[in-house]
Amino acid sequence: MRKILFLFTLVFAMALLAVMLKSPRAEQVEHHGYLVNAVGRTTDCLACHDGTAAKSVSNCIGVNCLMSDSHPVDKPYPPPGKEEGYAPVDQVTATQIKLDEGNITCISCHDLKNPAPQHPAVNNDGSRLCLTCHLK
Ligand code: HEC
Ligand code: HEC
Ligand code: HEC
């Protein structure tokens, strides 16, 4: 019986380890009383920021994203065919700005590990955050 229990525990521990190794994208951070993945995908953030657990955010995952107060997310960076208006990728990702498989997402503008208000990935004084990507 003891041996079975031991084996069971061992298998469980190994399975847990395998799951943890399979998700290298996890960087847990304290966020308003929750433990949140600071490098989560758009959908991870929107799980709360859809007005259920946290304030809803205007975001734009659709195809036709016109800027009023929402910014396109899950779009390739730089946008194909419009490269000349954008800073090179390695220059952008040399900051705290992160792309998710080449796409702009919530964590491109927000670094939850930055305790500053709104957790900007780059301090946005004088629109610095925006100008890190947008050249014009
Ligand atoms: C488990 C729920 C949860 C998840 C997941 C979550 N948030 Fe939040 N977030 C909150 C709550 C609660 C607040 C407090 C204000 C509110 O209720 O909207 C907040 C506030 C914020 C704020 C406003 C500044 C502040 O901290 O007061 C930003 C920016 C933010 N979250 C970004 C993000 C990003 C980016 C992600 C994904 C990487 C994310 N959040 C994931 C719950 C969550
Ligand atoms: C292009 C950059 C950019 C992207 C992409 C972006 N944000 Fe923001 N976000 C900002 C800036 C700048 C502010 C603070 C100024 C403002 O309120 O407009 C902000 C504010 C917020 C706030 C606080 C809103 C409030 O009313 O207090 C939350 C929450 C938030 N963002 C979550 C998200 C989530 C979740 C995503 C992904 C769906 C996201 N953001 C994508 C730049 C961005
Ligand atoms: C991580 C890089 C990045 C950052 C930071 C960023 N943007 Fe963008 N922005 C993009 C991409 C990519 C698009 C999508 C362009 C497309 O698909 O044509 C976009 C689109 C836009 C658009 C829609 C019109 C257009 O130019 O296509 C506006 C307006 C805009 N951004 C303003 C802002 C503002 C304001 C900020 C700062 C709060 C900001 N951006 C920060 C990458 C960025």
Q: From the CA of 57, how far away is ligand 2's center (Å)?
A: 7
pLDDT score for 116: 94
Quick one: tokens of 87? 């800073």
Q: From the CA of 19, how far away is ligand 2's center (Å)?
A: 30
pLDDT category at 69 given cuts 50, 70, 90 is: low
Question: What value does the mean pLDDT take over residues 28-50?
Answer: 92
- The number of C-alpha atoms within 13 Å of 67 and in the hemisphere containing its C-beta is 3
| Ligand having the closest approach to the CA of 100 | 3
Q: Is 132 in the pocket of ligand 2 (CB under 6 A)?
A: no
pLDDT score for 60: 62
Q: From the CA of 71, how far away is ligand 3's center (Å)?
A: 6
pLDDT score for 18: 62
Question: What value does the mean pLDDT take over residues 66-90?
Answer: 87
Quick one: tokens of 95? 């900051």
Q: Whose CA is nearest to atom 22 of ligand 2?
A: 118
Distance CA 41, CA 104 (A): 10
pLDDT score for 24: 57
Instruction: Give the range among 24-28, 56-60, 109-113 with minimum mean pLDDT.
Output: 56-60
Distance CA 99, CA 6 (A): 43
pLDDT score for 131: 95
**Amino acid at residue number 62:** G
